[in-house]
Amino acid sequence: MKRRGWMRAWAIIWLLCSSSCATATRSPEPDPVQAVTGWYEALRDGKPHIAYRYLDAKARATTDLKVFTALYAKHKPFLVAEARRLLAWARRHPAAQTATVALGKQRLRLVKTPEGWRLLMPVGARAGSQ
């Protein structure tokens, strides 16, 4: 009898989890300006460990948190001013999804539009010369 009760409890738990997971949706990606805003606010507010999280994986792999924190302590006014400048620029310019495709030594730049991916290269220009 006890085993039946446990099996019933597990069945209920499984049913609750599977029904909630089935209806879960992926959150939309935040606006890129939000990332720049978070970077600026973390630097401004003296939270380099939070600002560090806004760096991409490659940047974090080449600069650990301890080094970044030391850099921040030494150059805080410059970093805050630069982040403020980047934020102002980001707010004035709409975000765009872009891609760079490597074709051997050549690089082709594209932008995503409502019609699909489009070239960011004028006709006749050499790919990779940008």
* Degrees, nearest 5: CA angle 90-28-20: 160
CA 128, CA 62: separation in Å to the nearest integer? Answer: 26
> How much is the pLDDT for 125?
53
Q: What is the pTM of this model?
A: 0.59
* Model pLDDT for residues 5-46, shown as the tens digit of each residue: 555 655 555 545 444 444 445 555 667 889 999 999 999 999
Which residues does 56 contact at the CB level (< 8 Å), separation at least 6? none
Q: Tell which residue, 97, 106, 96, has the closest CA to residue 126.
A: 106
CA 76, CA 42: separation in Å to the nearest integer? Answer: 11
